[in-house]
Amino acid sequence: MPPLATYAALTAAIVLEVIGTSFLQRSEQFTRIAPTLAMGVCYFASFYFLSLALRTIPVGLAYAIWSGLGILLISAVGYFVFRQSLDLPAIIGLGLIIAGVITINVFSRSISH
């Protein structure tokens, strides 16, 4: 798979996981049918796209990028959409996640760029 397609699949996996997690919040412990179904569809599609990215990127690195960027994005969704606050330790931790994802993508020879 070409690098652009690999990263497009990984990006789709991340975005769909974040959307699915947002629907999980809206599902109210699976008591609301529409958000629960939307969550399931998004999670299924997310794992499908992640599996495409795994054709090129080693599983550990793909998962680190997928989960790291997913944490950052869902934290932003939580803050802006669900009005959840982030304290200083949370912000520092998110900064460390950003540093880790950048380090993997810029310096790792384990993935093809």
CA–chain centroid gap for 91, Å, is 17
- pLDDT for 113 beyond 90: no
* In contact, 53 and 6? CB cutoff 8 Å: yes
Q: Domain boundaries in the chain?
A: 3-107
List, for residues 5-19, the tens digit of each pLDDT value. Answer: 999 999 999 999 999
List, for residues 25-73, the tens digit of each pLDDT value. Answer: 999 999 999 999 999 999 999 999 999 999 999 998 999 999 999 999 9
Tokens linked to 8: 């497009």
Give, in degrees to the nearest 5, the angle at Cα 72 between 68 and 78. 140
- Burial of 19-39, coded b for 16+ CB within 10 Å and e otherwise, reads bbbbbbeebeeeeeeebbebb
